[in-house]
Amino acid sequence: MLTFTVLAGCSDSEKSSRGNKDETVTINYFTFSPGTDHEKDLQDMISAFEKQNPNVKVDYEIAAYDDYFTKLQTMIAGGKAPDVFELNYENFVSYASKGALADLSKYIEEDKDFDPSKLNQEAYKAYQYEGKQYGMVESFSNVVTFYNKDLFDKAKVDYPTAEWTWEDELAAAQKLTNKDEKIWGTYAPIQFHEFYKVIAQNGGSVFNEDKSEVTIDSPENAEALQYMVDKVNKYKVTPSVGDLSGQSPEDLFKNGQIGILHTGIWMLSAFKDAPFKWDIALEAGNTQKAHHFFANGLAVSKDSDAQNAAYKFARFMSASDEAAEIRIASSWELPAITNEEILKPYLEQTPPESREVIFEALDTLVLPPVIEDWSKMSDLITKELENVVNGKKSPEEALKVMQGELEKLK
């Protein structure tokens, strides 16, 4: 839970005045996503921004993700919020609801150099709260279906298509599974993030649309949860924890022991040298499609007295060709821009042959069910999922517990 109190600050005109003047203004940027691997790329982005905006300088600080939000809350609570700071989507909602972020809508409306239509609209709108733009999406990743083409060919199974349903995937997985050779047909983790996506593929949800009601105890969700665990316990087309023997499913896929793997696009590089042919496809659905959406964005502090300059930097990191080109060249997540010329080098990289799937998946993204007590909700659902996998509870019993506990958290 966020515990900071947003301090009363300057008037709107005072907040936006610094950075409009001729003198140089310095803004502070706090971030977690570069880590040590991409600090040089961040520096290159800042240099490109400063070249375009000679009266704005950017001082940055990078924190490890595990420490980042504790430090950010401390800064805000102490009245020393950075002018610009990075927020993943899950935390964006918490900060926006606490009133910690500047409304960027007016800057966007007055900005003749920014065209929101040049960003993926689903990713862009993810940083809206109550109809106002409180953040600028800078990058995203998602989960798609990876599949081993050699195993499919050997089992004489057609490759996954965009029309695949759960039934199609299960049928393929059963043909791909070979116990003697320790080959499993499919793998998807049974955990919180996978659960909220799979129930969405069956028309289910954790909350109703305006989040005023908990809707997790539903027949659609029970059916989805049963489907998840049946692949392990009933059909045995997914390796159990014991089958994994400490190995990751990604390791098994790379060993040629998993036919279909549901994992993130951050694994593209890791699988690049796999000794077999592979590709990616959209996720199978049941009543509808649903794909994960993990996003990072930049927000401007409500208390910044350089909001105009801070907005320009956030816009640059989100929508500029320069920042996007650096991201693509360094494989540092994906920019949310739709400029095909900029994205072309990324799409041309193989394997996989079907990289366009990554962008097609954005048309059916499902956002995480966010509440202020995010971690408590995640822990609760994960615990109950484990009870179902271990046979201690039926899906219906576990969902009933989740319903009651989530109603207490809201």
Neighbours of 81 (CB within 10 A): 26
Q: What does the pLDDT read at residue 14?
A: 44
- pLDDT of 77 reads 93
Look at residue 1 in the predicted model and tell me its pLDDT.
46
For residue 221, how far is the Cα from the chain centroid? 22
Burial of 358 (0-12, 13-18, 19+ CB in 10 A): buried
Please provide residue 191's backbone torsions phi and psi, each rounded to the nearest 5 degrees. -150, 180
* pLDDT under 50: residue ranges of the chain: 1, 6-14, 16
Query: What's the pTM?
Result: 0.79
Q: Count other C-beta atoms under 10 Å from residue 385's C-beta.
A: 23
Among candidates 283, 292, 288, which has minimal Cα distance to 123?
292
At 293 the pLDDT is: 87
pLDDT at site 357: 95
- pLDDT, tens digit, 9 for 90 and up, residues 35-80: 888 899 999 999 999 999 999 999 999 999 889 999 999 999 999 9
Residue 109 CB neighbour total at 10 angstroms:
9
CA distance to 128, 251, 335, per residue, from 338 (Å):
19, 33, 9
